[in-house]
């Protein structure tokens, strides 16, 4: 396995970061995780825009222009001979002395990881998964801007621990007002009376790239879309529920805590959206491959 570290591809054993790196010491860093289909990185431009936004909001200078980062992503995939993969770009404040002052770090640390994509079991998509409502709350947007996709993940980890203890696939966090926010690594959706519902960004959630695609697909399929503030009870009484991110795409949910959703069957709207999403991916990949974006 090979890793892109700072300015070149190196063997995994040589991909070493200092214990004085502020990403390690303080979680001072940002990242993006992307899905690769047939050698094409899906929605690469959109992920790069979000990476740039995260960097700007924490006053972090990216180590190279966006075109250089994109080229480095494909170089890493090529070095690992991967065509169906997950790839993560991480940028930290860099090596520096102890202390929170960003000026202690001379230059950022830049890392790209690429791994063979491991598909989720077919039964998850056929039968749905179980999620829970976590006790751990989502960070308030006035304490940590949710538009920053940062290395600060402790509250998500605590919610994930809750899910694992209860043998749930995912934990759904609420904001401080008790409204549904998002999962530890996912956005949450539910269908009620032919309307696709999802928490509004003002709740304090990340504007997921897959989330945005799903909203557009729902509208194209003739569904109404409602972005609003919702309570857990509305999720548990929904006709259909699913979660999403770049790697899992659209994952059906048939249990929310002890509540069974729609008699435990994956709903037809969820199936239609998943089919439409995968068709969107196929079209994107074919178009980019024809342009040589590999």
Q: Which residues are annotated as catalytic? A: 149
**DSSP assignments along 17-73, one per residue:** --TTBHHHHH--EEEEEEEEETTEETTHHHHHHHHHHHHHHTT---SS-HHHHHHHH
What does the alpha-carbon distance between residue 270 and residue 240 come to, in Å, rounded to a whole number? Answer: 7
Residues 6+ apart with CB under 8 A from 21: 92, 93, 94, 95, 96, 109
Q: Which residues contact 77 (CB under 8 A, 6 or more apart)?
A: 36, 39, 41, 83, 85, 87, 114
Q: 119 by DSSP, 3-state: which?
A: coil
Q: Measure the CA–CA gap between 30 and 92, rounded to whole angstroms.
A: 6
């Amino acid at each position: 396995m090979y890793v892109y570290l700072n300015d070149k591809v190196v063997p995994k054993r040589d991909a070493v970061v200092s214990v004085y790196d502020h990403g390690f010491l303080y979680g001072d860093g940002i990242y993006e995780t992307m899905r690769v289909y047939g050698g094409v990185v899906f929605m690469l431009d959109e992920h790069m825009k979000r990476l740039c936004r995260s960097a700007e909001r924490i006053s972090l200078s990216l180590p190279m222009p966006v075109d250089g980062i994109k080229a480095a992503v494909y170089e890493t995939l090529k070095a690992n001979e991967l065509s169906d993969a997950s790839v993560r770009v991480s940028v930290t404040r860099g090596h520096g002395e102890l202390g929170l002052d960003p000026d202690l770090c001379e230059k950022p640390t830049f890392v790209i990881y690429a791994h063979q994509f491991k598909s989720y079991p077919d039964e998850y998509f056929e039968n749905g998964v179980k999620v829970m409502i976590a006790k751990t709350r989502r960070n308030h947007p006035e304490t940590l801007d949710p538009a920053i996709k940062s290395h600060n993940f402790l509250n998500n980890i605590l919610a994930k621990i809750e899910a694992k203890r209860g043998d749930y696939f995912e934990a759904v966090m609420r904001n401080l007002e008790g409204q549904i926010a998002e999962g530890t690594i996912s956005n949450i959706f539910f269908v009620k009376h032919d309307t696709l519902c999802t928490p509004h960004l003002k709740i304090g959630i990340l504007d997921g790239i897959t989330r945005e695609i799903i909203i557009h697909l729902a509208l194209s399929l003739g569904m109404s879309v409602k972005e609003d503030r919702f309570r857990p009870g509305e999720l548990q009484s929904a006709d259909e529920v699913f979660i999403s991110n770049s790697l899992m795409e659209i994952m059906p949910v048939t249990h929310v805590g002890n509540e069974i959703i729609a008699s435990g069957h994956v709903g037809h709207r969820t199936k239609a959206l998943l089919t439409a999403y995968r068709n969107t991916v196929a079209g994107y990949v074919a178009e980019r491959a024809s342009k040589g974006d590999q």
